[in-house]
Amino acid sequence: MKSHLTRIEVTVALVAVVALLGVAIAVGHNPLRSIDAGVLSWMVDHRSSGATSAATTVTDLFAPMWTGIWTVVAAAVLVAVDRTLIRAVQLLATVAVAGAACEVIKLAVDRLRPPTFDQVASPELAMSFPSGHVTGAAALLIGLAVITTSAARSRTRWWVVTAAVIVASGVALSRLYLGAHWFSDVAAAVALAVAAVVAVPAVVGFGIDRTSRHMLTSRSQHRLRTGGPL
């Protein structure tokens, strides 16, 4: 019971932070304005051809379309390994919920991107908050790590989740480096993804368990009424 309450509290806190920051940005009172400007300026001043190539590759690998493909592939592997849909549905739902929440907030805030002259490659103009790349990548990577290590030893789980966080951080860094997002866009995206990872697998697991129990009970009652074997 305590763990469920902790999950709820963490999820609500993270979503509340993202929502409040979004409102502040929408009304022109971004509390992270100076940090956003400073991070963008530092990234622009420290660009190189090699780093630009690496950042472009990372950001392309975790574009929303590819993140969707990686998610489906990972879910298919989980089904093949588990012979059950539970962990696959948990992963699919986590990424889907995070992505849907991200799009709703993007539309509501409709924040302008960094200036086009600070961006690398094709310039992007609007719906900057939060970052869709980072939300999807973090939800997939961290969610997959958490879901697949739920029964593992704590040390193993720590290493796997840490590796996922490092890769997700690389995606976030690539978006900042390319000038596609402000720092606050990326921070909000990570918070949104973590909120989904904390809440969605548990909700899906609970729902599947309740549904299975209900179906088993209904089947037993039907057999009792018809005189069939239990």
Q: Domain ranges in the chain?
A: 2-226
- pLDDT digits 0-9 by tens, 92-134: 999 999 999 999 999 999 999 999 999 997 888 889 999 999 9
Note whether 126 and 110 are within 8 A (CB).
yes
CA angle 21, 127, 9 (to 5 degrees): 35
**SS3 track for 86-131:** HHHHHHHHHHHHHHHHHHHHHHHHCCCCCCHHHCCCCCCCCCCCCC
| CA 177 to each of CA 6, 121, 126, 166: distance values in angstroms, whole numbers, following the listed order | 35, 12, 18, 16
Please name which of 177, 167, 179, 178 lies closest in space to residue 136, comparing C-alpha atoms. Answer: 167
Q: What is the mean pLDDT of residues 61-79?
A: 97
3-state helix, strand, coil in the chain (%, to 5): 80, 0, 20
First to last CA, the chain: 33
Q: How confident is the model at residue 208 (pLDDT cuts 50, 70, 90)?
A: confident
Q: What is the mean pLDDT of residues 18-22?
A: 97
| pTM of the model as a whole | 0.89
N residues, the chain: 230
**Both tokens assigned to 32:** 């992270």
Q: How confident is the model at residue 5 (pLDDT cuts 50, 70, 90)?
A: low
| CA 91 to each of CA 156, 186, 206, 225: distance values in angstroms, whole numbers, following the listed order | 19, 21, 14, 39
Half-sphere exposure of 95 (CA within 13 A, CB side): 30
Note whether 144 and 163 are within 8 A (CB).
no
Percent share of the chain, pLDDT over 70: 88
Note whether 134 and 63 are within 8 A (CB).
no
- pLDDT digits 0-9 by tens, 21-48: 999 999 999 999 999 999 999 999 999 9
Q: Is 64 helix (H, G, I), strand (E, B) or coil?
A: helix
